[in-house]
């Protein structure tokens, strides 16, 4: 069985590629020319070059594939040109779904994010049915992923065999970029985290996310969404776990939201007007942190059999990988 993986050079995509190979599946990875291919080193894959925004290059990618795992996305908290979020995440998803339909792929798994879900007014964990609107989406990344998920739902309504998964916050090895969450871990390891804001995240082992995508292809219901998450933790609790793993003292100063927000606005202004580089304190990240990103993944556990590996082990793997690959200063 041949499977297509978009975004296979990235954090989650590489975990999907490796899991498919471990189960004896043939894998085709779609990558842009010039992509960082380190996560694919030594893997027996069919690597083809193309671009989600180039329909002609995209047509060849899913041909002969029984399944397509659409993991590729533009993920960051700041860009000099915000249109890149909508071109890659929305238009790219539409193009990929059209190509998969034309190639008669039997099942497509669209990777969304919990950032595209709603939130509960009482602060409790949200689930797949928690209402959400585009106006509630903070920042271009979340807005674009919300719209991309709409593309997937509309395709499912037209008969395209699409299942949607919403990973929470993956942690683990091969976060080469790193992701914003990986950057938090790297900053902690380099003792650049003197204080933190009171927020919360739902963490899950990146390898469990990969397993969730494969389970969604096998057992997921077309048109349904599944939260791929595990453990809800405050940021303070995450730092405490990292402190236990590394023996580095966790930050003890918790900054109020109203203190960090003006600093984020100042950083944003500098990035937009002067440096044209990502802000040290991303405004969108701070705005997201106003609400704890807690989620309930029981539907995926119940219907898909999503594994729930210990978060301590996932954090240990992340720490070891970042340390072994030069992200930690000597």
pLDDT value at position 169? Answer: 95
CA atoms of 114 and 300, how far apart (whole Å)? 13
Confidence category of residue 261, pLDDT binned at 50, 70, 90: low
pLDDT value at position 252? Answer: 87
The pLDDT of 249-263, averaged and rounded, is 76
pLDDT value at position 289? Answer: 62
**pLDDT of 135 higher than 90:** no
Alpha-carbon dihedral angle through residues 31, 32, 36, 37, given to the nearest 10 degrees: 30
pLDDT value at position 195? Answer: 80
**pLDDT of 225 higher than 80:** yes
Confidence category of residue 255, pLDDT binned at 50, 70, 90: confident
The pLDDT tens digits for 265-310 are: 666 666 666 777 776 666 666 656 667 789 999 999 999 999 999 9
Residue written as token pair 């080193």: 41
What mean pLDDT, rounded, does the chain reach? 91
Q: What secondary structure does DSSP assign to 130-181, as a single string?
A: S---GGG--HHHHHHHHHHHHHHHHHHHTT--EEEEEE-EEESS---S--HH
CA-closest candidate to residue 185, choices 325, 307, 2, 39: 325
Higher-pLDDT residue of 330, 265: 330
- For 28-32, 43-47, 276-280, 312-316, which range has the lowest pLDDT when averaged over its residues? 276-280
**pLDDT of 96 higher than 80:** yes
pLDDT value at position 268? Answer: 65
pLDDT value at position 124? Answer: 87
Higher-pLDDT residue of 219, 80: 219
pLDDT value at position 304? Answer: 98
The pLDDT of 208-224, averaged and rounded, is 97
pLDDT value at position 88? Answer: 94
Give the 3-state secondary structure of residue 4: strand
CA-closest candidate to residue 75, choices 185, 178, 173: 178
CA atoms of 310 and 230, how far apart (whole Å)? 9
Rounded to 10°, the helix 180-189/235-246 angle is 50
**pLDDT of 56 higher than 70:** yes
Q: What is the pTM of this model?
A: 0.92
Confidence category of residue 27, pLDDT binned at 50, 70, 90: very high
CA atoms of 50 and 316, how far apart (whole Å)? 35
Structure tokens at 50: 């193309």
Alpha-carbon torsion 119, 121, 126, 128, what sign? negative
Question: Number of helices and strands (H, E) in the chain?
Answer: 12, 12
CA atoms of 60 and 51, how far apart (whole Å)? 11
The pLDDT tens digits for 157-195 are: 999 999 999 999 999 999 999 998 999 999 999 999 888
pLDDT value at position 285? Answer: 66
CA atoms of 239 and 135, how far apart (whole Å)? 32
Confidence category of residue 110, pLDDT binned at 50, 70, 90: very high
Q: What secondary structure does DSSP assign to 26-78, as a single string?
A: EEEEEE-TT---GGGTT---EEEE--TT-HHHHHTTTTT-SEEEE------S-
pLDDT value at position 270? Answer: 67
CA-closest candidate to residue 270, choices 257, 261, 256, 281: 281
pLDDT value at position 265? Answer: 63
pLDDT value at position 12? Answer: 97
Asked if 315 and 184 count as a contact pair (C-beta separation under 8 A), the reply is: no
Give the 3-state secondary structure of residue 6: strand
Structure tokens at 39: 């996560």
């Amino acid at each position: 069985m041949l499977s297509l993986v978009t975004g296979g050079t990235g954090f989650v995509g590489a975990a999907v590629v490796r899991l498919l190979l471990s189960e004896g599946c043939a894998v085709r990875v779609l990558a842009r020319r010039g992509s960082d291919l380190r996560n694919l080193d030594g893997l027996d894959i069919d690597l083809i070059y193309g671009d989600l925004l180039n329909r002609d290059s995209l047509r060849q990618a899913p041909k002969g594939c029984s399944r397509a795992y659409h993991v590729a996305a533009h993920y960051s908290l700041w860009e000099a040109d915000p249109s890149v979020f909508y071109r890659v995440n929305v238009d790219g998803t539409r193009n990929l779904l059209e190509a998969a339909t034309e190639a008669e792929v039997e099942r497509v798994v669209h990777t969304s994010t919990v950032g595209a879900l709603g939130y509960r007014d009482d602060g409790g964990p949200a689930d797949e049915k928690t209402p959400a609107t585009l106006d509630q989406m903070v920042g271009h990344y979340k807005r674009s992923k919300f719209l991309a998920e709409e593309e997937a739902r509309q395709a499912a309504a037209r008969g395209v065999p699409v299942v949607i998964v919403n990973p929470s916050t993956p942690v683990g090895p091969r976060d080469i970029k790193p992701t914003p969450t990986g950057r938090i871990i790297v900053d902690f390891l380099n003792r650049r985290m003197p204080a933190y804001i009171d927020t919360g995240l739902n963490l899950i082992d990146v390898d469990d996310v990969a397993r969730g995508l494969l389970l969604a292809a096998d057992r997921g219901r077309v048109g349904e969404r599944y939260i791929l998450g595990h453990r809800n933790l405050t940021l303070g609790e995450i730092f405490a776990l990292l402190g236990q793993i590394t023996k580095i003292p966790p930050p003890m100063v918790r900054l109020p939201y109203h203190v960090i927000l003006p600093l984020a606005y100042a950083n944003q202004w500098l990035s937009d007007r002067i440096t044209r580089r990502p802000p040290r304190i991303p405004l969108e990240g701070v705005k997201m942190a106003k609400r704890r990103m807690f989620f309930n993944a029981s539907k995926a556990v119940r219907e898909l059999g999503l594994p729930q590996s210990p978060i301590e082990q996932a954090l240990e793997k992340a720490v070891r990988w970042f340390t072994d690959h030069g992200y930690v200063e000597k």
